[in-house]
Chain A
């Protein structure tokens, strides 16, 4: 086996050094009734070349672009990733390193994460961002737990227009602690009804996603006023951070904690993971923040350098009293997103965000003209809810035959929205692809 370097001579000589005759003697402390007692029933080992064939065959069954035109977003977005980003990310000095516990030989990771924290803070309009969480869903759950810790209150409110899977994860995280979750209803225009919430006084936090699950841009400024007055934390969530290249960021609209999914920023969809949990807050709350942080300092000779800092918040020091149990995070994905943000630049992210918006508006117009109904009239970014002229089931199947995936049907999570689908277009969708979809409506 090419990953195991030991020759028979090596093994014999090492066994002599440790005073054992056979390798199995090394396990003599394990009682017989704890032993496997049989060979592992696994397929025979494959050669590198056989493995290629096997995995390629699995990959080929998957419906992906360009063979399929996939109008799906809903928390996972198709964006072009520059080859330079993939190439740099493959540098094994980054990918095969562990958590940077030895700063002298981890300055590459540390500076890159410090830069990620900075770019993330700027994108979200916040003062401090951590080194990442697992994904947008766990980031939201951790944000709410942070608000609960600080306010010492036990109730949180969650907009019904937060990604349904995120709400499910929040419930999983909060339920055993005995915390109560209340739901903010949805308005006719596809935005959250913040006034629909009576008695905010005992709330630890109110969480709203923008753009929300229906793609609509929420009025966070308006929401933040009433949430502030009640003394609750204003947590905003997101699944499509590219939107902040065009729209106001959550920080300038009064958010206390901003968290969400960074997959859009240079990370492939990979069937849903790994993603990137982005997490930012105000500096005054940094000691209650979960996750790792990289800080700037100097070495003994006064040269600038970076270290993991404020580690006393974390599990390896504070154990059961830690802010979070998180250890391994999504560091390499954070690097990918920093590389991507650096490649785009301020000018590029604006242009790309505009292009996403314009393409979605183009499709919206075309579908309307073809007899579809756009359900909500609030502004959107790159996804929106529609109903087709015919039953969704019928049109969806018909389109699938043309290798078009007509978005994400919503009735799974919103039973009242039968026949509604959530469509997404990004810069990867050409005008002719959108025209093809529109044409099908007219047939």
Chain B
């Protein structure tokens, strides 16, 4: 596992305490898990995602990530309806490890409240949180 300083936390996304990131794309919000979470989990072997059209509240579990010997739950950073899922992850779950902020994205949401994303942390705030937890 890497040191926190070695991990990447780009500023174009917002972070949840449960280690998901959310990117504001005007009409929609795209969600994945951050570099810290993928590093902690190790090699991802399976990603379970919701169905398009499902709706969730903020903080609801929307899927699971599996490594060889662990299962982790992933939570909604904002409330909304699922408008797309990353189909590529069923064939290549390793994208979550390789490109967590790009090709490793998981779901696209139509948010109930477009402003809710701003309640999440910035990259710097998130890194401070991680350091505080060390």
Do A and B originate from a single complex? Answer: yes
The chain A residues found within 8 Å of chain B, CB to CB, are 287, 311-312, 317-318, 321
- CA A345 to CA B67, docked complex, whole Å: 39
Q: Is the CB of B46 within 8 A of A311?
A: no
The smallest C-beta distance from B40 to any residue of chain A, in angstroms, reads 16
Q: Which residues of A contact B67 (CB under 8 A)?
A: 312
B68 in contact (CB, < 8 A): yes
Residue B24 at the chain A interface, CB threshold 8 Å: no
Across the interface, do A287 and B68 meet the contact criterion of CB distance under 8 Å? no
Q: How far is the CA of A317 from the CA of B66 in the complex (A)?
A: 10
B70/A317 in contact, CB under 8 A = yes
Complex contacts, A318 vs chain B, CB 8 Å: 71
15 A–B pairs (Cβ distance < 8 Å), ordered by A: A287-B46, A311-B68, A311-B69, A312-B46, A312-B66, A312-B67, A312-B68, A312-B69, A312-B70, A312-B71, A317-B69, A317-B70, A317-B71, A318-B71, A321-B71
Residue among B46, B69, B71 facing the most chain A CB atoms (10 A cut-off): B71
Chain B min CB distance to A300 (Å): 15
Number of interface residues of B (CB under 8 A): 7
Residues of chain A within 8 A (CB-CB) of B69 are 311-312, 317
In the assembled complex, the CB of A231 is this many whole angstroms from the nearest CB of chain B, namely 16
Task: Provide the bound-state CA to CA distance between A318 and B67, in Å.
Answer: 12
Which residues of the partner chain B approach A321 to less than 8 Å between Cβ atoms? Answer: 71
Q: What's the minimum C-beta distance from A200 to chain B, rounded to whole angstroms? A: 24
Chain A residue with the shortest CB-CB distance to B71: A312
In the bound complex, CA of A321 to CA of B71 (Å): 10
Q: Which 10 A-B pairs have the closest CB atoms?
A: A312-B66, A312-B71, A318-B71, A317-B69, A317-B71, A311-B69, A317-B70, A312-B70, A311-B68, A287-B46
Q: Which residues of B are found within 8 Å of A312, using beta-carbon distances?
A: 46, 66-71
CA distance A287 to B70 in the complex (A): 14
Distance in Å from the Cβ of B54 to the closest Cβ of chain A? 14
Contact with A along B59-71 (1 / 0, CB 8 A): 0000000111111
A317: chain B residues at CB < 8 Å are 69-71
List the A side residues contacting B46 at CB < 8 Å: 287, 312
| Closest B residue, CB atoms, query A318 | B71
In angstroms, how far is the closest chain A Cβ from the Cβ of B68? 7
CA distance A317 to B70 in the complex (A): 6
The residues in B between 51 and 83 inclusive whose CB is less than 8 angstroms from any CB of A are 66-71
What is the CA–CA distance of A318 and B71 in the complex, to the nearest angstrom? Answer: 7
Nearest A residue to B73, CB-CB: A321
Measured between alpha carbons, how far is A312 from B68 in the docked complex, in Å? 7
Task: List the A side residues contacting B68 at CB < 8 Å.
Answer: 311-312
B6-64 residues with Cβ-Cβ distance < 8 A to A are: 46
Query: Shortest CB–CB separation between residue B32 and chain A, in angstroms?
Result: 20
A220 to chain B minimum Cβ distance, whole angstroms, is 31
How far, in angstroms, from A287 to B47 measured CA to CA in the complex? 12
B118 CB, nearest partner CB in chain A, Å: 34
Chain B residues whose CB sits within 8 angstroms of the CB of A311 once the complex forms: 68-69
CB of A101, distance to nearest CB on chain B (Å): 11
Cα-based distance from A396 to B67 in the complex (angstroms): 60
Given A317-B70, A321-B71, 6 more contacts at CB 8 Å?
A311-B69, A312-B66, A312-B68, A312-B69, A312-B71, A317-B71
A311, A312, A317, A318: most-surrounded residue (chain B CB, <10 A) = A312
